[in-house]
Each structure stands twice: as C-alpha cells, then as structure tokens.
Amino acid sequence: MAITPPPERIWWNLPVARSEIVWIIVAFLWGLVMFSGMVYWHLEGEQNLSNEAYRITPEAYLEKATAMVEQYQVREDAGMPVVHPPPGSDVYLVARLWQWWPIIEFEKGQSYRLHLSSMDWLHGFSLQPVNINLEVHPGYDMVVTITPTDSGEFGVVCNEFCGIGHHQMIGKILVTE
C-alpha cells in the first residue's frame, strides 16, 4: 500500500502486482489512442484554420489597416468606420485598448484574408457564435483565410485579459447575402 513506506529500502526490486501492471498497460494504450486521435483530428478535423503569421511593427500594421479603411469605408456606425472590402482581398482588424477597429462587412460565401494584430498588449480574438479563437500578439500579423457561410451580425470578443477595459472590448463582423 502507498500509505506506509515499503518494507524494504530498495523497493524497486520488489515484484509489481498484477493489477498495477494491468493499469500501466491500460494507461499506456489510452495515451496512444489519445495521441493518435490528436494527429487524426489535426489532419481530418476540418476545424483547423489556415493561418499564417508574420513579424510586423505595430506602426506598419496600423498604416495598412488605415489605408484599407480609407479605401473601403462605406459608412459609420456609432463613430466606428464600417468597411466592405471586395471578396478575396486582405482585410485588417486592429486590436487595441479596448476596442476592435474597424467594423468589417463581408459577403456570404466569399473568401477573405483576415489580418489580425495588436497595437499594445496580448489580446484574444473570439468570433461568436462561430467559436473561432486566436491569440493576437503585438508585433505579429496573424492571417486567417475565412469564408462566411451564414449571414448576420457576429460578435468579436477579446478573450485574453488586457486591462481594466477588457470587458468592454467587443467588435462586429457583419455578413451580408
């Protein structure tokens, strides 16, 4: 029993009980099953995002995002620019204390390259209710190819604590028919 010390000081030379050998074999086999399942799900799971990451300075990223907003802005919503880029284009979403900028409008069934980067701290990109979750780091341009399959309004939430205004860091992605 494990409650009392072993009767002999050199305990590793003692015979192992049959029940312990069975549990060691079961645990080892279950570990192989889980490992194989992870590899299978990664290759065949259809939930893996096609993403890329590049080093970029926050200033250079903001310059690209600002140029995109100037080129594709269609209106404002509560003082926030709403952009409607053409299908297949590069779309830039900026994370900064404590907002997602700008509001993006996609077309259903069309593919876009969504770029994500932070201007200040680590943020989390959580697209709801689709349940896409990514970490957004300053100094990195994370690129995700997305094709919206449903129309409507989707919330973007920061799911990494980023300071006192974290609970208010929400954004929008709109998908039109």
What is the extent of the structural domain holding 93? Answer: 51-176
Q: Is the pTM of this model over 0.85?
A: no
Residue 33 within any structural domain of the chain: no
Q: Are 100 and 77 in contact (CB under 8 A)?
A: no
Residue 12 within any structural domain of the chain: no
For residue 28, which phi and psi values (nearest 5 degrees)?
A: -65, -45
Among 123, 112, 135, 115, which residue's Cα sits nearest to residue 170?
123
Instruction: List the CATH number of the domain containing 94.
Output: 2.60.40.420
Residue 30 within any structural domain of the chain: no
pLDDT of residue 91: 97
pLDDT of residue 4: 77
Residue 128 within any structural domain of the chain: yes
Per-residue pLDDT of the chain (177 residues; tens, 9 = 90+): 567 776 777 777 888 889 999 999 999 999 999 999 988 887 777 666 667 899 999 999 999 999 999 999 999 998 899 999 999 999 999 999 899 999 999 999 999 999 999 999 999 999 988 878 889 999 999 999 889 999 999 999 999 999 899 999 999 999 998
| Domains in the chain, number | 1
Residue 82 within any structural domain of the chain: yes
Residue 55 within any structural domain of the chain: yes
pLDDT of residue 142: 94
Residue 1 within any structural domain of the chain: no
DSSP-derived secondary structure letter, 73: E
CA distance 81 to 3: 66
- Strands 73-77 vs 80-83: parallel, antiparallel or unpaired: antiparallel
| CB neighbours of residue 18 within 10 Å | 8
Residue 90 within any structural domain of the chain: yes
